Chains A and B, each alone.
Chain A
Amino acid sequence: MNAAKDELRNERAAPAGTVTLAHGGGGRVMRELIERFLVPAFENPLLAPLEDQARIPLAGLTAAGDRLAFTTDTYVVSPVEFPGGDIGKLAVCGTVNDLAMSGALPLHLSCGLVLEEGLELALLERVLLSMSRTAREADVTVVTGDTKVVEHGAADRMFINTAGIGVIPRGVEIAAGRARAGDLVIVNGTLGDHGVSILLARNELALEAEVVSDCQPLHGLVAAMLAACPDIRCLRDATRGGLATVLNEFATSSGVGMRIAESSIPVSETVRGACEILGLDPLYLANEGKLVAIVPRSSAEAVLDAMRAHPAGCAAAIVGEVTAAPRGRVVLATAFGGHRVLDTLAGEQLPRIC
């Protein structure tokens, strides 16, 4: 039924006009904005009373597990819309994934909007509908929110903050410090797609290539992995800083080493090519729908099979193993036959001059 409503909204003309400071002023104009755009996008029984807070029954939560997972993230991506997603889809997936990496079942999100004066209402509507569609796909509801408008120049079009809660099932103990020598390292697919798609979408490079962001919710995949192996040791989504950063975090927290085989890391040909031209390393590029898992060696094949049977994990691969030494360091066996330390970056990856 919601999908049908989306269709209807898509058919009628996009709203004209732009966001003004009055839309954040707390008065009638703001009320109109909420009722016209936000309530229809997110409608659900917990949001419907439009109180200052959502009131969530505890009984439903405690039935699903024994711990509440609670997280927040703020999304400032530029451009706001890019191949494979937009800031709204990102704001739902990112927070859902942060919850899912604890093994939690994601349930409810908040939505805080910071809008720049002058933002087209049509764009706002597109982003909100995208959030609504993604939330439905991820089985979560947006149950509370807030909207602020800032003067032109004080923000870059729109920023979104989402906080989320979920429930962790009893017995699931995923933590960055649980990797043990002998465990195997698994990723769920090609790396670097999101990072490269954003670089290309900024249109500053005069490179033309079809790269679509991998932005997607991962809680379904995690549930399938947990069903195959309830004792998953570590799980993290490889967002900013990419695979290299996550592996270093695991190695440091667990006091173990890692040995990764470059030739087994999935990277699409287009992303490899773009990185080659731009002097970037795909292992440090951001992803928005990729996770890194450390699993006991004995369960690795079962987890891999479960992942490959799920749409978000069809290109999953074992990329390396946990070693006793060197503690806190990640060693990359290069496809060329050498090896080197795979460190974290000091700051942003900056392209090399020559």
Chain B
Amino acid sequence: MRFADEFRDPVKARHLVAEIERLAAPMAAARGRPLQIMEVCGGHTHTIFRYGLKNMLRSELLEFVHGPGCPVCVLPMGRVDDCVSIALRPEVIFTTFGDAMRVPGSKGSLLQAKAAGADVRMVYSPLDALALARGNPGREVVFFALGFETTMPSTALTVLQAKQEGVRNFSLFCNHITIIPTIKAILDSPELMLDGFLGPGHVSMVIGTRPYRFICERYGKPIAIAGFEPLDVLQSLWMVVKQLAERRCEVENQYRRIVPEGGNAPALAAIGEVFELREFFEWRGLGSIDHSGVRMRERFAVYDAERKFTVPNVKIADPKSCQCGEVLKGAIKPYQCKVFGTACTPERPLGALMVSTEGACAAHYQYARVELADAGSAGRVVA
């Protein structure tokens, strides 16, 4: 497969791993612990597990800390309850991305609401939802808008198109969140032990590289904006480790083929036209973070499902036994959580990190549950 296999070359991977370990070894020895690098984005978590990167690097030298960048995972229960209450209205066709279907609220998930008779449909794009609205003028089509700046432009442009066409039976249930305040909240956390960051690739394609400067300037941590192929992740890791070794601290851009320094101006303009910052937004596991979410501006009120339908808007506390917050901050590993793999599994997720395959816990559960102590001895593979 052209343009994909080039980024999955095992020979180049071995070279990078050797170089990363060579640079990391003296620093890990000096610290008496492995270097801890957080990949902010859930897409990177997925790559790390799916391609087995975690097991290619010696764990005494380097550790990945899985960050909060899975928008499905950080959605609080109260918002899911609001979704379900909208979806259960008889006039509503509720449209959503696939992996949001399983996120548990306090009264079940969208998948369960669908089984109970709600008209919930999976779409690949907000434009599919708009097309449904055109085709079903007698129904109210609601799109479950979620994601970081990555998905925000496409929702904003869909709302603008709906307005231009005069489609009135279409609205958003807006749960878009922004990455920068969240990284800041993590950096301000007292338990933090991070040495550096892999920056989100697709978010940066929209916002550019400048918004990350405070990470270096104020907190003294290096960051490399990373692509999503396994070689992208390894090369970015090498860039961060090299910065640490050379005592540099910069925003570097590994994902140049996609991410321009200044971001994407038309996308940012569309976001600015449709959305405005909320004072605060509730995150599962992390609590309320100032200015970390957006809502629709007043002049798009008719496209705002929160204004169109009354929703319960009840804040539901995270389950007591759930330690998603500590995992998200990198304070504990997924398998160190009290309920990991027992009360909380992908079949019955208690915490959000167990829901999406981008969630650190689900990825751990699916790809790495057994410590492969004997993988070396059984390592010979036929063919």
Contacts and interface: CB of A to CB of B under 8 A. Distances in A.
A146 interface: no
Nearest to A261: B381
B300 interface: no
Among B46, B99, B101, B347, the most chain A Cβ lie within 10 Å of the Cβ of B99
Contacts of A352: 43, 46, 98-99, 356-358
B293 interface: no
B217 to A, nearest CB: 28
A341 B366 contact: yes
A326 B150 contact: no
Nearest to B128: A204
A310 interface: no
Which of under 10, 10 to 19, 20 to 34, or 35 or more describes the interface residues of B?
Answer: 35 or more
Nearest to B371: A326
Nearest to A339: B52
A290 interface: no
A338 B53 contact: yes
A329 interface: yes
A350 B99 contact: yes
B22 to A, nearest CB: 17
Interface residues of A, number: 43
B146 A353 contact: yes
A347 interface: yes
B56 interface: yes
B381 A343 contact: no
A350 B8 contact: no
A353 B145 CA distance: 11
B366 A321 contact: no
Among B102, B374, B381, the most chain A Cβ lie within 10 Å of the Cβ of B381
Contact of A336 (B52, B346, B358, B368): B52
Interface string B143-174: 00011101100000000000000000000000
A63 interface: no
A343 B378 contact: no
A110 to B, nearest CB: 30
A320 B381 CA distance: 6
B381 A272 contact: no
B375 interface: yes
Among A263, A273, A354, the most chain B Cβ lie within 10 Å of the Cβ of A354
B1 A276 contact: yes
Contacts of A263: 383
A35 B13 CA distance: 66
A324 B380 CA distance: 13
Given A273-B1, A320-B382, A340 B101 contact: no
A259 interface: yes
B335 interface: no
A324 B383 CA distance: 19
Interface string A246-278: 000000000001011101100001001100100
Contacts of B372: 326, 331, 339, 341
A351 B378 CA distance: 33
Contact of B381 (A205, A321, A350): A321
Contacts of B382: 184, 261, 264, 318, 320-321
A3 interface: no
B367 A340 contact: yes
B36 interface: no
A317 B383 contact: yes
Contacts of A141: none
B98 A351 contact: yes
A340 B98 contact: no
B151 to A, nearest CB: 6
B72 interface: yes
Nearest to A353: B97
B370 interface: yes
10 closest cross-chain pairs (CB), A and B? A338-B52, A350-B98, A346-B346, A337-B10, A264-B383, A351-B98, A340-B367, A353-B97, A323-B378, A340-B52
19 contacts: A204-B128, A260-B381, A261-B383, A263-B383, A320-B382, A321-B382, A331-B375, A331-B378, A332-B52, A333-B381, A335-B10, A339-B52, A339-B375, A343-B366, A350-B98, A350-B101, A350-B102, A353-B99, A353-B151
Interface of A: 184, 204-205, 257, 259-261, 263-264, 269, 272-273, 276, 317-321, 323-326, 329, 331-341, 343, 345-347, 350-354
